[in-house]
Structure 1
Amino acid sequence: MDISGRQIGPSFVCLKINSTLLGNFQVFQSITPMGPLLQKVVHRFYAPRCFAPLMKIFICGESLMFQRDINIWNNKMFRRSPILAKEDASIKKFRMWFSQFYTLNSKPFTEATTVGW
């Protein structure tokens, strides 16, 4: 099985799976900001029609994993200089790469999380 993933900008991920047993299929994830700390996430699965039952299982699994991730995201804390294990070295590179997508108009975390009522 050959699996390759590619992130295109901050809001689009493409995952390609090529398998002699399962066939070839692709998963696309798009993330659209809807407001501060609010995003719309869409997953699209593409495979030959004969794999529809298998894709339903994959979609169910993806949904469960995504729900678990939401719980983590909703309770995370920003650390400017987090303590990382050597296996997490790519996180620092990812943060540096991702920072190019912030602008002067981007709200800081403290401002985005302040409820103004």
Structure 2
Amino acid sequence: MNVMPHIQCIITAINDSWLNEGSLNLIEIIQFADMGMESEDPYGRDKGPWPVYRTRSTAELIPHIESFIRYIETNDKSQKPLGLCFYFHPWEFWEMPEGLIHFGEGEFSQILFWLKGVESTA
């Protein structure tokens, strides 16, 4: 059962708009979306900022985890065990170089809010 009915499949077989449900037989498991929170965005795009909450503080992240769990408990009738899996990036806990990072044939620049991370509070 797809417990996230408000998130539509971006890949569509017939429709040319991501706003419409596609015809492909896919189950979408998104990285994060607090489906229980009230959205201020007409497309619900503000429901998915786990890295933003995570890098701000545990105090900001926990209410979204709890909200998501309540959403699943209310909407998932499969009675299967609930599990949340988080992956953490090194730059969330370890000081990273700022500016361009040069490697071989290119260079990379990170968005500063990622670099801020939570290293001072982890």
> Do Structure 1 and Structure 2 share a fold, with TM-score over 0.5?
no
Q: Give TM-score scaled by structure 2 length.
A: 0.31
Q: Which has the higher strand share?
A: 1
Q: Which has the higher helix share?
A: 1
